[in-house]
Chain A
């Protein structure tokens, strides 16, 4: 590389080299994503040979109907959903952490997930649908509408009270506890079957995947990532503090509200599709920060990809712990995520970053 593209030993040359390195990391992430996806699709109950699975993916016509159904109707939607949900949670978490100036924020810090659980519980316990005619999608639709409503409450209260990171966190935590209390109330009123349903819903499971959901999620990511990247420079400026960003001409309040809407939408869609999956939106952005730093042009895509890889790997793990059993992925991410996260935090401390 250095031989074909000689760069002078200047600050600009250094900057270009760093950018090239960061770009390579993003590309490496995409390769890792493809590998994780192949791994996820090739593992599962049924013990299909890897060759058969890959052949079915490349040339569906050649496969037996059984193979075709397992790969295309069962495994692939789940594997793609894992990737898509990971990506949505990662981007959402990265955006949240940037606008709240808090590395511990994730899509669920501000009550979006808790509100979705209220929506789902209302559907399960009373059979009420917020949008009439939701039919079999009543739980998903309710969860989505409630999650979005929570973000709107957050949005307007923040607007009323002044758009600072502190206000957002305070109102968000108030929402979180309120929603948890309402869910507890609903659980108290529910019968055993309903209670089981609510608990299973909150665990977060990719078994709810479908091609339609994968399509919606992919479309959302395709829209959201450019939306974030267009604000890349402004978001990087925000990392230097509100006042400096304002001096640089960034309209801080507007930027915060725009990103709040986008992150909420991503979190609402993912939680209504597959339930609450913790830690991905926290850990993915952390890994991205370690890899490429805080230049948001690289940080946001890296956080998205890293989170997608993580959830894809978690999906694989959920299938191999007990052969023949697929554990709800929310349990896996929390179980693996917590120790992983703590070791990450400790290693950062040691290096004094």
Chain B
């Protein structure tokens, strides 16, 4: 049971972004980190996988079924793509936006929320530890709380695949750890496929079950964090040297450095 991308081609106008991109099967219950330089096509890959962009060629398959066979609504039910936070200042509460995410799963024009819907929202709010903020406007929340509320929007839809675009950027160190731990928890408990685009290689090494290195529209290397990050593909992709070390606590630390010739 897994998510697999094969031979994906996508271009914006004449500029190729994804060039025959394929991944190994990403199993359910595992957290994958997608790393790669700015502009390497991470967001484009996510948007193609979520069906928000139509690739010229290639398939995205969930548990062996080609997702392009589904209607956009069904696909949005299976795959949730959480774009980078734009910081929209809107007078809506945490409860409002999570309920909104739940309501937009169904067709139909019913204005009121069903008890099932509010129960699901309540459960997710509890799961994410947002109970104290549930009635606060999202405009008044800190970056970390906003990010958790957005993850709540994803989880309340009970997707099979969760694609998160830099969920930890702009968060302080404690919130980065909180958010990543929450994501890993939810991935295991719900047995879903989660892919997180992330810039911090140490954070990726620490929380991800596998790491995918993306470069120029392709997956350059993939596998267990310790192996992948030690691979020369990482140095080549970022044009840096990479030093790996286990801390006294046993955490894998990644130290990139600029090589002087």
Contacts and interface: CB of A to CB of B under 8 A. Distances in A.
B228 interface: no
Contact of B92 (A11, A229, A295): A295
Interface residues on B, range: 35 or more
B179 to A, nearest CB: 17
Interface residues of A, number: 30
B135 interface: yes
A237 B50 contact: no
B101 A241 contact: no
Interface in B3-34: none
Interface stretch (A160-168, A195-203, A247-255, A316-324): A247-255
Interface stretch (B70-78, B192-200, B205-213): B70-78
Interface string A220-249: 000000000110111011011101101111
Interface string B116-143: 0011011001000001001101010000
A234 B73 CA distance: 13
Most buried by B among A11, A246, A250, A294: A11
B97 A12 contact: no
Interface in A86-104: none
Given A241-B86, A246-B52, A297-B111, A233 B92 contact: no
A294 B92 contact: yes
Nearest to B88: A241
A353 interface: yes
Contact of A11 (B81, B86, B97, B125): B125
A230 B131 contact: no
Given A237-B100, A237-B104, A247 B77 contact: no
A18 interface: yes
B95 A14 contact: yes
A353 B111 contact: no
A289 B97 CA distance: 16
B95 A15 contact: yes
A249 B121 contact: no
A240 B76 CA distance: 17
B92 A236 contact: yes
A243 B90 CA distance: 15
3 smallest beta-carbon distances between A and B, as pairs? A249-B76, A11-B134, A293-B91
A10 interface: yes
Interface in B201-220: none
B161 interface: no
Given A11-B131, A243-B86, A251 B72 contact: yes
Contacts of A247: 50, 52, 76, 80-83
A294 B76 CA distance: 24
A239 B92 contact: yes
A15 B135 contact: yes
Interface in A1-53: 10-12, 14-15, 18
A248 B100 CA distance: 9
Given A243-B86, A293-B137, A294-B90, 16 more contacts: A11-B125, A12-B95, A12-B118, A12-B121, A15-B99, A232-B111, A239-B88, A240-B100, A244-B83, A247-B76, A247-B82, A248-B100, A248-B153, A293-B91, A293-B92, A353-B91
B135 to A, nearest CB: 5
B105 A249 contact: yes
B42 interface: no
A164 to B, nearest CB: 14
Nearest to A231: B109
Nearest to B105: A249
Nearest to B87: A241
B191 interface: no
A222 B111 CA distance: 17
